[in-house]
Amino acid sequence: MDLRKGPWTVEEDLVLMNYIGSHGEGKWNSLARCAGLRRTGKSCRLRWMNYLRPDVRRGNITPEEQLLILELHSRWGNRWSKIAQRLPGRTDNEIKNYWRTRVQKHARHLRCDVNSKQFKDVMRYMWMPRLVERIRAASGSSATCVHQNVAAPSTREWPAEGSVELGQAKTSPDDSEMQLSSASESDDCFANRMQGCENGCDDWFQEADFTACWPQPLPSPGVCADDLGSLDLDGCGWEESLWSIEDVRGE
DNA sequence: AACGTAATCAACCGCAGCCGT
DNA sequence: TACGGCTGCGGTTGATTACGT
């Protein structure tokens, strides 16, 4: 049987949904055969998981979700499926796409490797506090619990096995994770730093936001790591509390 | 309006791990 | 133990859409 590739048609979607509705998911190869779909089992699974599943959330990634993605990626790296488990309704594919299109784009603009410590610091000490402010502004003080776990850390904690949840950003020690701790004076510093970076745009990730806040001229391509090593956030006291992923990761 | 470029996202591919035989 | 099939994951591609000139 010749297998179909490419975009799914409405008819194929209906066949797949109806079949799973009456037989359940799993055993994707036989499912594809029995349902009469000229698709591979992998293709059926992907279509279901990323698009047809009833609990798939569609629409823009919210600031809360953005915050969580940044946070979880800082711990787990490109473990998309694992990250997706913490964002109900979001798929690993969606998160992966988000990361590649939004986050990596800005790393490129900063001429910085997305995995470099410098870039992670920018995320943690600039973007994430800014996101927290946005969340807080949108929901009054209800984002405090998120805020407390994203602000520049002054202590490290290792809570009991748990998980990061939206609105309750606990972390767990599995995977040699770190704990982001309570808000500190560094956060105020960032709040100040972020002043003047407002552009009124919904997209917190607007390039102007952080390039304007970048404390030094951007380095030339190819010299990212070394040059950014001299990054100076002038007098915020952030260096004392600088949290290093490498410090606490056993990975 | 037409064209080129950038951004987005659905889907495919290769690989690794698991499990049954 | 070796093998094969299945599943899930992460990386990549390509089509479509949005945007700028």
Please report, rounded to whole angstroms, the spatial distance between the CA atom of protein residue A226 and the C1' atom of nucleotide C18. Answer: 37
Please report, rounded to whole angstroms, the spatial distance between the CA atom of protein residue A176 and the C1' atom of nucleotide B3. Answer: 52
- Which residue's C-alpha is at the least distance from the C1' of C14? A6
Return the closest-CA partner of residue A75 out of A170, A229, A179, A145: A179
Could you give the 3-state DSSP secondary structure of residue A5?
A: coil
pLDDT of residue A1: 62
Does residue A97 reach within 7 angstroms of strand B, measured from its CB? yes
Does residue A43 reach within 7 angstroms of strand B, measured from its CB? yes
Half-sphere exposure of A219 toward its Cβ, with a 13 Å CA cutoff? 18
pLDDT-based confidence at residue A239 (cuts at 50, 70, 90): very low
pLDDT of residue A230: 28
Closest nucleotide to residue A44 (Cα to C1')?
A: B11
Q: With left for phi above 0 and alpha for psi between -120 and 50, is residue A175 left, alpha or beta?
A: left
Ordered by where they begin, the domains of chain A are 10-52 (1.10.10), 63-248 (no CATH)
Over residues A216-238, mean pLDDT: 32
Does residue A205 reach within 7 angstroms of strand B, measured from its CB? no
Please report, rounded to whole angstroms, the spatial distance between the CA atom of protein residue A222 and the C1' atom of nucleotide B18. Answer: 42
Q: Taking a C-beta distance cutoff of 8 angstroms, is the pair A132, A244 a contact?
A: no
Q: What is the pLDDT of residues A90-124, one digit of tens each?
A: 998 999 888 888 888 777 777 777 777 777 777 77
Residues 1-20 in A having a C-beta less than 7 A from any atom of strand B are 4-8
Cα dist. A169→A120, A152, A159, A164, A166 in Å?
18, 14, 11, 5, 6
Protein CB footprint (7 Å) on chain B nucleotides: 7-14
Q: Taking a C-beta distance cutoff of 8 angstroms, is the pair A122, A210 a contact?
A: yes
Does residue A81 reach within 7 angstroms of strand C, measured from its CB? yes
Could you give the 3-state DSSP secondary structure of residue A196?
A: coil
Q: What is the pLDDT of residues A44-57, one digit of tens each?
A: 989 999 999 888 88
The pair of structure tokens assigned to A63 is 């600031």
| pLDDT greater than 60 at residue A63 | yes
The percentage of chain A sitting over the pLDDT mark of 70, rounded to a whole number, equals: 55
Over residues A117-139, mean pLDDT: 79
Q: What is the pLDDT of residues A142-168, one digit of tens each?
A: 544 444 444 433 333 333 333 344 433
pLDDT of residue A47: 92
Return the closest-CA partner of residue A126 out of A211, A241, A68: A211
